[in-house]
Amino acid sequence: MNIYSIDFHAKCPTNGIRICYRLRIEVKFVIQVEVIVDVINTITDGFHEAIADLLFAKFGGRQTLTADHHSVNIQTIREP
């Protein structure tokens, strides 16, 4: 099992506040870090759950996306 983690920021589409996300990807294959960084760099805003869906479509595996949104912690888990 390979585990990749990255922190990134995106704006809330409702009020423009900058949100810090933590992504964890668990897969049985290799993902080039440059590919992860390139995909993350395309995410500038979006709702948490929609970002999780997009990342799952790109990388598969088991993914956990965590962030605090206005003092509410959201954690989404995507897995096959």
Domain, as residue range, for 47: 2-78
Residue 39 is predicted with a pLDDT of: 98
pTM of structure:
0.94
Report the alpha-carbon distance of residue 80 to residue 73 in Å, rounded.
Answer: 23
Which positions of the chain have pLDDT values less than 70?
none
Report the alpha-carbon distance of residue 21 to residue 59 in Å, rounded.
Answer: 17
Q: What is the number of structural domains in the chain?
A: 1
Residue 70 is predicted with a pLDDT of: 85
